[in-house]
Structure 1
Amino acid sequence: MTYLASPSTLFGRLINRTQYADLPWSNILAINFLRGRLNRLSANLPNLIEELSDENLQSAWKVLQPLYYDLYMLRAIQESKQIVQPGETLTREEALRLLHFP
């Protein structure tokens, strides 16, 4: 099974005080603590998956599959927003016209 992205790439780098000056220190420390814990757990994830029975693995995948696909599409949308320049895409009306009259 391949993973979409590591938790560190999903959640970005550690939050520092200059990025979120309006957050209290306690919130920043809690977020950093949880992010570190998530990184440690993700390192153990392959071993935990190997211990699951096939039946449990299939039921877990049924739950995780929609989330996996949503994250995949979200990442593709975010990448396209960075790559696509104004004027390179069609408006809704232009796309419908092309679909009806190729």
Structure 2
Amino acid sequence: MHALRLAGVDFSVPEADLRDWLSNPSFTPYPAITGALIKMLGGKQLRRSVFIDVIVFNYEHAPGASSPRRMADVDLDLLAKAIVKGHNTRYGEAVRDLQNLLQ
């Protein structure tokens, strides 16, 4: 949770639910996607918060996506698009590239 906050990622679901999902890699993609997201950002932070639950939803509902259970199974291009889509939906913007969301 702390690493997510440092990365500029928050959530729109009850914290207890998110903690449960993050601790359950066998049944949810949250641990894999969260780990890949934090690694992909490489210590950088989103300039405006994006909900992790929306990122995961966007990722899993993208054409051709599969629900990852390991970080190695996360498609980083698809993850970047899921983050951008979550940002644009939340803030009503039309950003096209993840790099434009980083500070």
The TM-score by the shorter chain falls in which range?
A: under 0.3
**Highest RCO, 1 vs 2 (Cα 8 Å, sep ≥ 6):** 2
Question: What TM-score do you get using the length of structure 2 for normalisation?
Answer: 0.25
Question: What TM-score do you get using the length of structure 1 for normalisation?
Answer: 0.25
**Higher helix proportion:** 1
